[in-house]
């Protein structure tokens, strides 16, 4: 039975790297008919940020990641918020003390800070471990009656892990392979803090054990903690889950981890949703990305199916996903590719949905247009846009006559006989009963042939007076949509102005 967890700390908006971790956990769970758990790791009170937990949940929901057990869903291994499990952890820290694998330490923060500075002065690094622990204030260095008395007197203390000396710690990561670390390079990490809270390490291991987690899939930044975690499992005598540490998401130039500053500088979001508190941040959702496109883009940042295929629905991802196909190296975030994914998904989106969204934009500009007519309009231009908000740019000339006429276009395409052509076209348009694109195009082409007009000149002259420039979809589609009266008006106005 596969059981995986996404275990974010609510310290601010969730970076897309975090969303990807959640996504890979979710894909893995679904692929193996397992359980996806959301556990909120909020034991570090100094880093807690209000609104962050809600943000995380909403981001997962937006992506279509369904939580099986979690703070809102509940479940048989709850509560799923570590602050509500506070009472569980201390007994586990004490189990390790009783076994001799952990100890009480009474050094004050000031004492430790002074030591750190002293070492720095000597160009050395202070590490609280076997090399110094006997010279410090703890239950290994002090006589038993002394430290017991300190404990009883209520002096603040922490519980530290007693890292063994010169031991080769070996373990395997599904993505990184076999790793060996010498324990002498590690410090005696604090497991339980003087504020009565466990540290991340203790709470994380205890909860993964109690929640029966089978696979720990998390960011590469946690790899340095893995030797300690492995040691904790051994000390407790618990079976270890399997580990998979995911590569970083890199800046577009590949130099370092993708940060909010990169997004601010280059104009793209690095968070799934808008973050409204304190220093605000833009979000993919508010920038107009579709959740399917976002998820597809994100899945391929670090994982590849081993084929050229790039378009994957959530269902397809679940089918194809495997931890073995996750890259070892970091993946560059490519903002242009992100837009490309949105473009693809926008083309597949139901036209009715697009019309409803575009109607809002049109209304805000004072245009109240029938939905069917909006749908028709979108069909004409949708392949030119990647976001709904770009529709206006591609269609504004449907709603209002040109305010000016592109001089470049005129220089290139306006001919001596353009006024004559347009005047005669007006007459033709007045006489056509069927004012639809297909009929008009057929009639105009026949007319060009009969009158020996250059078709290019006719089409371009018409486009210049209707659109103002040479851009836009088929000219007959445009004039059908704006209608006969508007077409005639624009021809008249264009002739007057350009002349």
Catalytic residues: 260
**Closer CB to ligand GLU, 213 or 293, in the complex:** 213
**Closer CB to ligand GLU, 16 or 466, in the complex:** 16
**177 DSSP β-pair partners:** 173
Helices (H), 367-417: 371-381, 391-399, 407-413
Rg, Å, the chain Cα set: 33
Asked whether position 9 contacts ligand GLU by CB under 6 A, the answer is yes
Considering only residues 10-49, where is the footprint of ligand GLU by CB under 6 A?
Answer: 41
Residue 213 is encoded by which pair of tokens?
Answer: 């987690």
**Closer CB to ligand GLU, 168 or 239, in the complex:** 239
Residue 20 to residue 65: CA distance in whole angstroms: 11
Shortest distance (Å) from residue 10 CB to ligand GLU: 9
Asked whether position 392 contacts ligand GLU by CB under 6 A, the answer is no
Asked whether position 7 contacts ligand GLU by CB under 6 A, the answer is yes
Among 48, 77, 126, 222, binds ligand GLU (CB under 6 A): 222
Considering only residues 180-209, where is the footprint of ligand GLU by CB under 6 A?
Answer: 200, 204
Category of 8 on φ-ψ map: left (φ > 0), alpha (ψ -120 to 50) or beta: beta
Shortest distance (Å) from residue 436 CB to ligand GLU: 59
Residue 308 to residue 299: CA distance in whole angstroms: 14
Shortest distance (Å) from residue 486 CB to ligand GLU: 58
**Closer CB to ligand GLU, 219 or 335, in the complex:** 219
Stretch that binds ligand GLU, among 4-12, 238-246, 358-366, 473-481 (CB under 6 A): 4-12
Considering only residues 293-352, where is the footprint of ligand GLU by CB under 6 A?
Answer: none
Residue 119 is encoded by which pair of tokens?
Answer: 């070492």
Shortest distance (Å) from residue 83 CB to ligand GLU: 13
Asked whether position 171 contacts ligand GLU by CB under 6 A, the answer is no
Considering only residues 362-391, where is the footprint of ligand GLU by CB under 6 A?
Answer: none
Considering only residues 103-142, where is the footprint of ligand GLU by CB under 6 A?
Answer: none
Stretch that binds ligand GLU, among 7-15, 57-65, 132-140, 342-350 (CB under 6 A): 7-15
**Using CB atoms within 10 A of its CB, is residue 20 exposed (0-12), middle (13-18) or buried (19+)?**
buried
Say which residue the tokens 């204030």 belong to: 137
* H or E element, residue 317: helix 314-320
The secondary structure of 421-456 as a DSSP string is HHHHHHHHHHH-S--SHHHHHHHHHHHHHHHT--HH
**Closer CB to ligand GLU, 246 or 464, in the complex:** 246
Residue 456 to residue 463: CA distance in whole angstroms: 10
Residue 428 near residue 441 (C-beta atoms within 8 A): no
**Closer CB to ligand GLU, 70 or 473, in the complex:** 70
Stretch that binds ligand GLU, among 1-9, 152-160, 333-341, 490-498 (CB under 6 A): 1-9
Task: Label residues 155-190 b or e (16+ Cβ within 10 Å = b).
Answer: eebbbbbbbeeeeebebebbbbeebebebeebbbbb
Shortest distance (Å) from residue 210 CB to ligand GLU: 14
Q: Considering only CA atoms, which of 496, 492, 405, 420 is closest in space to residue 453?
A: 420
Shortest distance (Å) from residue 11 CB to ligand GLU: 7
Give the torsion through C-alpha atoms of 203, 275, 255, 339, to 10 deg. 120
Shortest distance (Å) from residue 223 CB to ligand GLU: 11
Among 3, 218, 285, 460, binds ligand GLU (CB under 6 A): 218
Residue 162 to residue 164: CA distance in whole angstroms: 6
Asked whether position 214 contacts ligand GLU by CB under 6 A, the answer is no
**Closer CB to ligand GLU, 47 or 265, in the complex:** 47
**Closer CB to ligand GLU, 9 or 214, in the complex:** 9
Shortest distance (Å) from residue 354 CB to ligand GLU: 37
Give the residues lining the site for ligand GLU (CB under 6 A).
7-9, 41, 200, 204, 218, 222
């Amino acid at each position: 039975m596969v059981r995986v967890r996404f275990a974010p700390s609510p310290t601010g908006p969730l970076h897309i790297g975090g969303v990807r971790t959640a996504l890979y956990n979710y894909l893995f769970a679904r692929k193996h008919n397992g359980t996806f758990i959301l556990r909120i790791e909020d034991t570090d009170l100094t880093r807690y940020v209000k609104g962050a937990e809600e943000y995380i949940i909403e981001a997962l929901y937006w992506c279509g990641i369904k939580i099986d057990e979690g703070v809102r869903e509940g479940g048989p291994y709850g509560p799923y918020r570590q602050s509500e499990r506070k009472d569980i952890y201390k007994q586990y820290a004490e189990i390790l003390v009783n076994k001799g694998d952990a100890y009480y330490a009474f050094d004050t923060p000031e004492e430790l800070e002074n030591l750190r500075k002293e070492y720095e002065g000597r160009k050395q690094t202070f590490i609280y471990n076997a090399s110094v622990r006997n010279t410090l204030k703890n239950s290994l260095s002090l006589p038993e009656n002394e430290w017991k008395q300190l404990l009883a007197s209520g002096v603040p203390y922490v519980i530290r892990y007693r890292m063994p000396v010169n031991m080769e710690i070996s373990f395997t990561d599904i993505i990184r392979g076999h790793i060996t670390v010498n324990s002498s390079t590690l410090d005696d990490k604090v497991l339980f803090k003087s504020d009565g809270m466990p540290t991340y390490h203790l709470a994380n291991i205890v909860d993964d054990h109690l929640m029966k987690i089978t696979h720990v899939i998390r960011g590469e930044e946690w790899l340095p903690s893995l030797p300690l975690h492995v040691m904790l499992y051994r000390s407790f005598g618990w079976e270890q889950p399997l580990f998979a540490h995911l590569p970083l998401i890199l800046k577009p130039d590949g130099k370092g981890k993708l940060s909010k500053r990169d997004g601010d500088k280059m104009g793209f979001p690095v968070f799934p949703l808008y973050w409204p508190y304190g220093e605000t941040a833009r979000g993919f959702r508010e920038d107009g990305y579709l959740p399917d496109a976002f998820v597809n883009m994100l899945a391929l940042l670090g994982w590849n199916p081993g084929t050229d295929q790039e378009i994957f629905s959530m269902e397809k991802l679940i089918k194809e996903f495997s931890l073995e196909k996750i890259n070892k190296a970091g993946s560059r975030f490519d903002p242009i590719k992100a837009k490309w994914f949105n473009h693809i998904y926008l083309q597949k989106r139901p036209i009715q949905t697009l019309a409803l969204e575009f109607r809002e934009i049109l209304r805000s500009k004072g245009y109240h247009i029938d939905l069917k007519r909006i749908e028709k309009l979108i069909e004409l231009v949708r392949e030119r846009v990647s976001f709904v908000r770009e529709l206006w740019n591609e269609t504004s000339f449907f709603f209002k006559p040109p305010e000016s006429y592109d001089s470049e276009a005129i220089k290139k395409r306006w001919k001596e006989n353009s006024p004559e052509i347009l005047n005669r076209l007006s007459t033709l348009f007045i006489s056509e009963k069927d004012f639809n694109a297909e009929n008009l195009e057929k009639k105009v082409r026949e007319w060009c042939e009969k009158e020996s007009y250059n078709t290019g000149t006719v089409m371009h002259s018409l486009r210049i007076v209707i659109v103002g420039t040479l851009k836009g979809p088929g000219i007959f589609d445009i004039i059908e949509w704006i209608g006969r009266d508007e077409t005639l008006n624009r021809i008249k106005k264009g002739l007057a102005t350009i002349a």
